[in-house]
């Protein structure tokens, strides 16, 4: 399988394709979770094999399955994720502020669309190094 992607910094990229096309494998390679069996891959200018820690420090990824704690509000989930990622208080506050007009700010057991918004915000909480 040959894949060639050039994604602009700060943009969102979605991979679409039929079952078995290699979408999950590609994402796993680009996020350093799986070694490539050939070729080369760079993310943010860093080789995903030789500089995996540098790649991980610069990306945010969310999947289609929610990983939020259903007992927490959207804000509480973002705060928790921010702390796990060792983000400073100002960055965590910025992530919360980006969702301030959304229903995720105070509801627990959010709708799937609200959950998706929190997942996407969580992926964006990893600022470029």
Whether residues 79 and 117 fall in one domain: yes
Burial class of residue 78 (count of CB atoms within 10 Å of its CB; 0-12, 13-18, 19+)? buried
Indicate whether 106 belongs to any domain.
yes
Residues in a beta bridge with 64: none
Indicate whether 4 belongs to any domain.
yes
Whether residues 35 and 86 fall in one domain: no
Q: Identify the band that residue 42 occupies on the pLDDT scale cut at 50, 70 and 90.
A: very high
pTM (predicted TM-score): 0.58
**Segments of the chain assigned E as strands:** 42-43, 46-47
Higher pLDDT, residue 113 or 60: 60
pLDDT digit string, tens, across residues 64-107: 555 666 777 777 777 777 777 666 777 667 766 766 555 555 44
> In the prediction, which pLDDT does 12 show?
74
Domain with 11, as residue range(s), is 1-59
Indicate whether 11 belongs to any domain.
yes
> In the prediction, which pLDDT does 7 show?
85
Whether residues 97 and 45 fall in one domain: no
17: pLDDT strictly greater than 60: yes
Whether residues 47 and 99 fall in one domain: no
Residues in a beta bridge with 46: 43
Indicate whether 67 belongs to any domain.
no
């Amino acid at each position: 399988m040959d894949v060639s992607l050039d994604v602009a910094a700060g943009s969102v990229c979605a991979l679409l394709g039929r079952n078995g096309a290699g979408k999950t494998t590609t994402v796993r390679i680009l996020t350093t979770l799986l070694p490539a069996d050939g070729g080369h891959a760079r993310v943010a200018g860093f080789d995903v094999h030789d500089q995996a820690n540098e790649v991980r420090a610069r990306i945010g990824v969310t999947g289609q399955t929610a990983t939020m704690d259903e007992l927490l509000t959207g804000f509480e989930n973002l705060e928790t994720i921010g702390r796990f990622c060792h983000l400073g208080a100002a960055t965590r506050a910025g992530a919360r502020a980006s969702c301030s007009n959304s229903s995720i700010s105070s509801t627990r057991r959010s709708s799937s669309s609200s959950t998706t918004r929190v997942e996407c915000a969580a992926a964006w909480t990893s600022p470029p190094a």
